[in-house]
Amino acid sequence: MATIGTPVRRREDYRFLTGGGTYTDDINRPGQLYAYILRSPHAHAQIAGINTSAAQRAPGVVEVYTGKDMAADSVGGLPCGWQVHSKDGTPMAEPPHPVLAVDRVRYVGDPVAVVIADTLGQARDAAELVSVDYAEEPAAIDPVAALQPGAPQVNAEAPGNLCYDWQLGDLAAVEATFAKATRIVKLDLTNNRLVPNAMEPRAAIGEFNRATGEYTLYTTSQNPHVIRLLMGAFVLHIPESRLRVIAPDVGGGFGSKIYHYAEEAITTWAAGKVHRPVKWTAERSESFMSDAHGRDHVTHVELALDGQAKLLALKVSTIANMGAYLSTFAPCIPTYLYGTLLAGTYTTPAIYCETKAVFTHTVPVDAYRGAGRPEATFLLERIVDLAADEIGMDPAELRRRNFIPKDAYPYQTPVALQYDSGDYGATLELALKAADYQGFEARRRDAMARGKLRGIGIATYIEACGIAPSAVVGSLGARAGLFESAEVRVHPTGSVSILTGSHSHGQGHETTFSQLVADTLGIPLDSIEIVHGDTAKIPYGMGTYGSRSLAVGGSAIVKAMDKVVAKGRKIAAHLLEAAEADVEFKDGKFTVAGTDRSKTLGEVALTAYVPHNFPHEELEPGLDETAFYDPKNFTFPSGAHIAEVEIDLETGQVAVVNFTASDDFGRIINPLIVAGQVHGGLAQGIGQALLEGCVYDKASGQLLTGSYMDYAMPRADDLPAFALSTNTTLCTHNPLGVKGCGEAGAIGAPAAITNALVDALKPLGVRHLDMPATPEKLWRIIQQHRAPLAAE
Amino acid sequence: MQKTVSLTVNGKPVSATVEGRTLLVQLLREQLGLTGTHVGCDTSQCGACVVHVDGEAVKACTLLAVQADGHSVLTIEGVATGDTLHPMQEAFRNNHALQCGFCTPGMVMSALDLVKNNPNPTEREIREYLEGNLCRCTGYHNIVLAIAEGAAVMRGEAPPNVHGAAAE
């Protein structure tokens, strides 16, 4: 029975619903000690000295280590995995990122010392006895101010706090086009800084086996092999053969668990010193000040149009906050995952983007769900809406006039990408119909009668997923390949283990990948096991981010299954005394074409492992194949999202009354799981638009939104029920035709919501709103601009 | 200061020696090995640690272990009957109401508390009740559907199967 395309319930749910999941903090190792990390209370200070002697003598304390101890042991800094070059060809400034600060702290939360004790309580108590002599200095917090002459300097290696000044596109062509444009629309906007907030706080357990010299790290990671490579090769100098990294059940990632973090190196290194396992688990307030943050752009954008409302040229200038140090993939986010997306769904012929990346005394910033693509979509869909408003045209109509036509694929954009497939017009029409766009004005009038300003907003988006062709990203500065691996192990009795380099931290791979295998090999779901997250078990894999698991990891599984079937056909041909070319594989059986003579996959597998009657001269025993899949191109999911909001005139409170998302994800394996991915992305996108904003005090650099008391996470009563639909065009270059669905919601929703709010506030003369549109912000706007309403 | 506490957990009597500052959630996770109850924050906001104490939903990060002395605690590990999921757990599975699974135990324990007090909650009542439970994965859409389904089954009605979900 075909399972692909059907809403199979998740195989992983039983353990999570019964308390049987195994997250890193659920693991306890014999003889385990606990680490407490002392962090800087200052945004910027020199460390004049650290006195650990009182802490060393405290009850239960085994060791206290500082940055000097690690430096003395030749521990390296945390490496950056992507090198971006500036306009003038010079490489980005890449300051050292010590695991524990040595002579200077650069953000509130920068790790300074680690206390290791028998219990967590003892470690925490003793940390209070560590005396750090800080000489506080002024901090650079605001990314625009940090680029001004005389701003406090974050890293000596980056004069003026500039990491790089990057560009993409043809500036001369853009300026020539602007010179002859009928209309030019300009906008200044910010993309608010966010804290990812996976519900499981990060955790790490380092372990060292004295007998074998082997290290094991249990960690909350989206990509254990990447951690093994970065930490082993660059930080602790442990060969792969003696370092095992295990990422067990992981409670959400959203990008924040891609990176190699200091605590992973600290616990692993310390375990080697004290010869006992060392466990660290973040408190939520530690997560706020140590998980890589997301977004944080300040942008000026200009759009040129002709007299028929055709987009002619786009010019974008962005300042992107990197924080105090470069996190693992930080440099590529506001460049190659941002500037390259600025064509969006449109035929704009000339595009130019420049990005200045700047260091500030804040937590490092890196990829967060969407990563660059939500920022590109937000500015593009805001300025397109603004253009429609200035022209006096329906924003849906302006979009229709400018969509890349569905017969134009493959479509080469002016910003390096080549889209393989899509049908943006039909997707938009699907969304407009589902949202009853035509009937909106009546709903607006009805709302006004109830004291509410109602607005509707459209956002279309394109994203580049399935990251990525290794040769392409290598030419753009990636220091890693971005293939994926899979091993398909058919066991003697016909059950199958799939060892995948992808990592599931909520995405449901155990179900989706099993459906893929069940349908291809013709075996029941419950005879399939999906193994992931352990470098000692799986082939070298790059992990899960950028909506890549099915497009890249799934394609690797398909490749490996193809090899299994090819070998199985040879074995079956031998057993059936037929020509290999006459043997067909279907529904789990190898059959001699046109006959009823067949062997099941199980029979072939048994023969492969008990090879008494076996073509030894031609084949090796066993039925176990590995494949690596390196994608030929990115995949390009796209969609149209429509938000409908009501703003309470008295309180500024926003209700999202309707949210419609129509998306093109290519082929869908499990619609239940795909819908769940969209729901979650939408919640994060709506959170960014209405609730979430990471705030630092601009003078002191203190993190003002450091807990769930201050940082507004979306709750159930902030969100509506979502109306979803899909309009499918297949990806043309991977064997499954899949595109990826993990980030779509977070990409489309911020612009859709903001466009709806601006539409609602149009009677008040409001032209733009920065996110998050909190009730306070809206209440102030309403108070300032209420006169026009009263006059009506 | 150490103290011995005796309580009933998932129907079984247990005793443990705890510090005065030990939280109920630490007792459950670290001393009793019941790691289904999770810790997701340090301000009693996220609800990943919700358990029932004497039948009432409580955030186990907000109660000292010594306060549970003599009381009866139900955790996620005690909700199913043998291998058979409770209707609320089954409803979460039917509706894909969990992704990473980290908030799930607290969500299920809260859902049971809601339905005990309000056997037929509306969508709005479910959303408002969940104010104390954060989920970062699902956008709550399917959690709301699951709780409505779980409540319906607990009232003796047939599950609606809104997704047409197929058994695996």
> What are the backbone angles phi and psi of residue A163, rounded to the nearest 5°?
-85, -50
Overall CATH class of domain A483-629 = alpha beta
Residue entry with tokens 């190792």: A29
Global pTM? Answer: 0.97
Do A483-629 and A297-467+633-791 have the same topology in CATH?
A: yes
Contact (CB<8Å) B36/A21: yes
Dist CA A303 CA A380 (whole Å) = 9
Chain A closest-CA separation from residue B59 CA (Å): 15
Pairing of strands A624-629, A484-490: antiparallel
Of the candidates B41, B101, B168, which has its C-beta nearest A8's C-beta? B168
Identify the closest residue of chain B to A721 by CA–CA distance. Answer: B141
DSSP 3-state helix, strand, coil percentages of chain A (rounded to 5)?
Answer: 30, 25, 45
What local confidence, expressed as pLDDT, does residue A361 receive?
Answer: 98
Which residue is it, tokens 């953000």? Answer: A107
In A, residues 231-250, which contact B (CB 8 Å cutoff)? 249-250
Q: Is the pLDDT of residue A638 over 90?
A: yes
pLDDT(A792) > 90? no
**Which pLDDT band holds residue B163 (cuts at 50, 70, 90)?**
confident
Asked if A705 contacts A694 with a C-beta cutoff of 8 angstroms, the reply is: yes
Q: Which residue has the tokens 């140090």?
A: A325
Q: Are the C-beta atoms of residues A28 and A22 closer than 8 Å to each other? A: no
Q: Which amino acid is at A674?
A: V
pLDDT digits (tens, 9 = 90+) for A733-769: 999 999 999 999 999 999 999 999 999 999 999 999 9
The predicted pLDDT at position A468 comes to: 87
Chain A residues whose CB is inside 8 A of the B64 CB are none
Q: Chain A partners of B34 at a C-beta cutoff of 8 Å? A: 19
Predicted local distance difference test score (pLDDT) of residue B159: 81
A8 in contact with B, Cβ within 8 Å: yes
CB < 8 Å to A517, chain B: none
**CATH, range A297-467+633-791:** 3.30.365.10
Question: Is residue A311 pLDDT above 60, yes or no?
Answer: yes
What lies within 8 Å, CB to CB, of A204 at 6+ separation is A24, A217, A218, A219, A220, A261, A263, A264, A266, A267, A268, A279, A280
- Residue found under tokens 């869909």: A381
Tokens of A173: 């062509």
Task: Test A681 with B104 for CB contact under 8 angstroms.
Answer: no
Question: Chain A closest CA to B78's CA: distance in Å?
Answer: 8
| CB-CB under 8 Å, B39 with A201 | yes
Q: Which DSSP string do the residues of B65-133 spell out, in sequence order?
A: GGGGTT-EEE-GGGTSBTTBPPHHHHHHHHTT--SS-SSHHHHHHHHHHHHHH-SS--HHHHHHHGGG-
- Best residue in B39, B41, B144 to probe A by mutation, most A CBs within 10 Å? B41
SS3 sequence of A600-652: EHHHHHHHHHCCCCCCCCCCCCCCEEEEEECCCCCECCEEEEEEEEEEECCCC
CB A530 within 8 A of CB A496: no
Q: Which CATH superfamily is domain B2-78 in?
A: Beta-grasp domain (3.10.20.30)
Local structure of residue A397 (DSSP, 8 states): H
Neighbours of B37 (CB within 10 A): 24
The verdict on a CB contact (< 8 Å) between A719 and B139 is yes
Whether the pLDDT of residue A791 is over 70: the answer is no
Per-residue pLDDT, B164: 74
Q: Is the pLDDT of residue A478 over 90?
A: yes
Return the pLDDT at B168. Answer: 58
Residue A296 to residue A318: CA distance in whole angstroms: 10
Terminal CA-CA length for chain A: 63
pLDDT digits (tens, 9 = 90+) for A241-270: 999 999 999 999 999 999 999 999 999 999
Residue A486: partners with Cβ closer than 8 Å, 6 or more residues away: A498, A499, A500, A501, A539, A553, A556, A557, A559, A560, A626, A627, A629
DSSP line for A276-293? S-EEEE--HHHHHHHS-B
| A527: three-class secondary structure by DSSP | helix
Segment A707-738, tens digit of pLDDT: 999 999 999 999 999 999 999 999 999 999 99
Mean pLDDT of A443-457: 97
For domain A13-137+200-251+257-290, the CATH superfamily is Aldehyde oxidase/xanthine dehydrogenase, a/b hammerhead (3.90.1170.50)
Report the pLDDT averaged over residues A368-395: 98
CB contact under 8 A, A715 and B43: no
| Spatial distance between the Cα atoms of A196 and A367, rounded to a whole number of angstroms | 9
- Of A652, A588, A653, A576, the residue nearest A615 (C-alpha): A576
Percent residues over pLDDT 70 in chain A: 99
Residue A701 pLDDT more than 90? yes
Q: Which residues of A touch B29 (CB under 8 A)?
A: 26
Whether residues B134 and A28 touch (CB distance < 8 A) is answered with no
A790: confidence class by pLDDT, cuts 50, 70, 90: low
State the residue for tokens 């009263």.
Answer: A790
Q: Using the beta-carbon criterion (under 8 Å), do A9 and B94 form an inter-chain contact?
A: yes
pLDDT of residue B161: 76
> In chain A, positions 658-677, which contact chain B (CB-CB < 8 Å)?
671-673, 675-676
Chain A from 14 to 43: CB within 8 A of any B CB: 14-23, 25-26, 28
Output the pLDDT for position B167.
62
Pick from A277, A365, A501, A680: nearest CA to B102: A680
Task: Report domain extents, chain A.
Answer: 13-137+200-251+257-290, 297-467+633-791, 483-629
| List of chain A residues whose C-beta atoms are within 8 Å of the C-beta of residue B128 | 716-717
Q: Do B102 and A713 touch (CB under 8 A)?
A: no
Task: Provide the residue ranges of all domains of chain B, joining segments of one domain with +.
Answer: 2-78, 87-154
Amino acid letter at A1? M
- Mean pLDDT for B143-166 is 89
**Number of residue pairs across A and B with CB atoms under 8 Å?**
201
The pair of three-digit structure tokens given for residue A135, joined into one six-digit string? 């000489």
Return all residues near A784 (Cβ < 8 A) that are at least 6 apart. none
Q: What is the pLDDT of residues A194-233, one digit of tens each?
A: 999 999 999 999 999 999 999 999 999 999 999 999 999 9
CB contact under 8 A, B92 and A13: yes
Q: Mean pLDDT across chain A, nearest whole number? A: 97
Which residues, 6+ apart, have CB-to-CB distance to A84 below 8 Å? Answer: A91, A92, A164, A166, A331, A332, A335, A336, A357, A477
CB contact under 8 A, A17 and B43: no
Does B162 score more than 80 pLDDT?
A: no
Contact, A279 vs A35, CB < 8 A?
yes
Residue among A314, A315, A321 nearest A356 (CA): A321
Q: Which residues of A touch B41 (CB under 8 A)?
A: 284, 707-708
CB A178 within 8 A of CB A351: no
H-assigned helices in A435-469: 440-449
Compare all CA atoms of chain B with the CA of A13 and give the residue at the minimum distance: B93
Name chain A contacts of B123, Cβ cutoff 8 Å.
721
Residue with tokens 């353990």: A15
- Tell me: the pLDDT tens digits for A461-470? 999 999 889 9
The answer to whether the Cβ–Cβ distance between A684 and B37 falls below 8 Å is no
> CA nearest A29 in B: which residue?
B30
Check residue A382 and report its DSSP letter: H
| Whether residue B165 has pLDDT greater than 90 | no
* A7 preceded by a cis bond (ω within 30 of 0): no
Residue A77 tokens, joined: 């800094």
What are the tens digits of pLDDT across the range A260-310?
A: 999 999 999 999 999 999 999 999 999 999 999 999 999 999 999 999 999
d(CA A322, CA A534): 31
Contact status of A251 with chain B (Cβ, < 8 Å):
yes
**Residue of A10, A15, A16, A517 to mutate, testing the B interface (most B Cβ within 10 Å of its Cβ):** A16
Chain B residues with CB under 8 Å of A28 CB are: 30
Query: Closest residue of B to A252, CA-based?
Result: B100
What pLDDT is attached to residue A519? 97
Confidence of residue A789 (pLDDT cuts 50, 70, 90): low
Longest dimension (CA), chain B: 55
CATH architecture under which domain B87-154 falls: Orthogonal Bundle (1.10)
Residues of B64-94 as b/e, b for ≥16 C-beta within 10 angstroms? bbbebeebebbbbbbbbeeeebbbbbbbbbb
CA separation for the pair A347, A422 (Å, rounded): 13
**Which pair of structure tokens corresponds to residue A599?**
């062997």
Asked if B30's CB is within 8 angstroms of A284's CB, the reply is no
pLDDT > 60? residue A512 = yes
Phi, psi (deg, nearest 5) at residue A240: -55, -35
Contacting A residues, span 119-138, partner chain B, CB-CB under 8 Å:
121
Q: Are A583 and A655 in contact (CB under 8 A)?
A: no
pLDDT in tens, A80-100: 999 999 999 999 999 999 999
Question: What is the pLDDT at residue A787?
Answer: 65
Q: Hey, how many other C-beta atoms are within 10 angstroms of the C-beta on A348?
A: 26
Q: In what order do the strands lie in the sheet with A104-105?
A: A104-105, A45-51, A131-136
State the pLDDT at residue A785. 83
**Is-contact A132 A38, C-beta < 8 A?**
yes
